[in-house]
Chain A
Amino acid sequence: DVKVTQSSRYLVKRTGEKVFLECVQDMDHENMFWYRQDPGLGLRLIYFSYDVKMKEKGDIPEGYSVSREKKERFSLILESASTNQTSMYLCASSPGTGVGKLFFGSGTQLSVL
């Protein structure tokens, strides 16, 4: 089975802290994604990457950055966390010809106080 692992299930941080969310996939997928999920808003794409060291902005990139130094790992970085970044963060991956089928991790619930 494809496994997408997010390093933390729950995370509590203070306003202004630098936050790292880590995601690792074990299926050699080219594409990786970071979404945030908020009640009533569904999933919104923050950033995605289609290759090592490549990144593209999604629909809501402001306040976030990403890093992909290795194919299996995709990190989401909150440079200075704010309370409006309290959310569920979902990582996903897909093969290069995945036609939109994504494999998701279990999510990280981030609370910024």
Chain B
Amino acid sequence: AQSVTQLGSHVSVSEGALVLLRCNYSSSVPPYLFWYVQYPNQGLQLLLKYTSAATLVKGINGFEAEFKKSETSFHLTKPSAHMSDAAEYFCAVSDPGGSYIPTFGRGTSLIVHP
């Protein structure tokens, strides 16, 4: 079985500050990992994905995430927050040798203050 834990249901930062959203995974096999973003009144869209290539993955809108096997983590970062980054962020894990269906975390709401 696979699962993800997102630490913190809400994260608040000031505009221009570092964004760090935490995700830890549990998987019996080397996983595929994803970050999705959901802007208000929209569906989810893929920010970035890790599929066993480079451990540092760059995504859209200046976000990146690093796969750390020893820590079973896949934290999402952005050096400088922008007001438009305010959204709900979901980490997800899938089993590349299994059903491929991602299991989602509970989500973290990013609040950006001016």
Contact = CB atoms under 8 A, between A and B. Distances in A.
Nearest to A105: B43
Interface residues of B, number: 23
Counting chain B CB atoms within 10 Å of each CB, the highest count among A94, A99, A100, A105 belongs to: A100
A102 B44 contact: yes
A90 B92 contact: no
Nearest to A44: B104
Given A42-B106, A99-B51, A107 B101 contact: no
Contact of B34 (A33, A100, A105): A100
Contacts of B102: 100, 102
Interface string B9-41: 100000000000000000000001010100001
A41 interface: yes
A48 B100 CA distance: 12
A98 B44 contact: no
B43 A98 contact: no
A90 B92 CA distance: 16
Contacts of A42: 90, 104-107
Contacts of B51: 99
A99 B100 contact: yes
A81 interface: no
A105 B44 CA distance: 8
B94 interface: yes
Given A35-B104, A100-B34, A102-B46, 14 more contacts: A41-B106, A42-B107, A45-B101, A48-B101, A92-B44, A98-B100, A99-B32, A99-B96, A100-B49, A100-B92, A100-B101, A102-B36, A104-B44, A104-B45
Interface of B: 9, 32, 34, 36, 41-46, 49, 51, 90, 92, 94, 96, 100-102, 104-107
